[in-house]
Structure 1
Amino acid sequence: MIMQIIRLKTNLSEEELLKRAHEREPQFKAIPGLVQKYYVKMGEPNSFGGVYVWDSEESLQTFRQSELAASIPKAYELAEAPGIEVLDVLFSLRE
């Protein structure tokens, strides 16, 4: 299992960001290998993120090369390049 954390700084209000995220929700639900996605608010103003849980590195790489992934900066009107971390999950507490 792979966890990916994306940190975004946006020019959008929280209300507008959530509206756009909900509009794009069906596209994310349809991604093969995406086990879960958490939409999060970071501690700084206009800072949000996504925590993705992938079934494999292959699924993550396929997503990274997709049009949906490429559309994130424009869809959320990013103020700067996103921060991205990829982590290998060693084990989970609960199944």
Structure 2
Amino acid sequence: MIIQIIKLKSQLPEEELLRRAKEREAQFKSLPGLLQKYYVKLEQPGQFGGIYIWDSEESLKSYGKSALASSIPEAYEIVEAPNIEILNVLFKLRE
């Protein structure tokens, strides 16, 4: 299992960013290998993020090459390069 954390800065007001995220929800739900996605708000104004839980590195790489992934900067009007972290899960506490 792989955790991908993306932190981004957007020009959009929170309400508009959430509206756009909801519009794209079905596209993310249909991604092969995406077990869960959390939409988060960071402490600094205009900063948001996504925490993705992938079943494998292959699924993450496939998503990274997709049109959906490449559409994120425009969809959320990102103003600088996002901060992306990839973590390998050693084990999980609960099933």
Task: Give the TM-score normalised by structure 1.
Answer: 0.99
Corresponding residue number in structure 1 for 2:44:
44
Corresponding residue number in structure 2 for 1:2:
2
Q: Which runs of 5+ in 1 are unaligned?
A: none
Moved over 2 A (4+): none
Give the distance between the partners of 1:4 and 1:13, measured in 2 at CA.
24
Aligned positions, number: 95
Task: Give the TM-score normalised by structure 2.
Answer: 0.99
Corresponding residue number in structure 2 for 1:70:
70
What letter matches 2:31 in structure 1? I
Q: Percent identity?
A: 66
What letter matches 2:46 in structure 1? N
Residue 61 of structure 2 is aligned to residue 25 of structure 1: no
| Secondary structure class of the residue paired with 2:69 | helix
Corresponding residue number in structure 2 for 1:79:
79
Deviation at 1:57, TM superposition (A): 0.1
Q: Which runs of 5+ in 2 are unaligned?
A: none
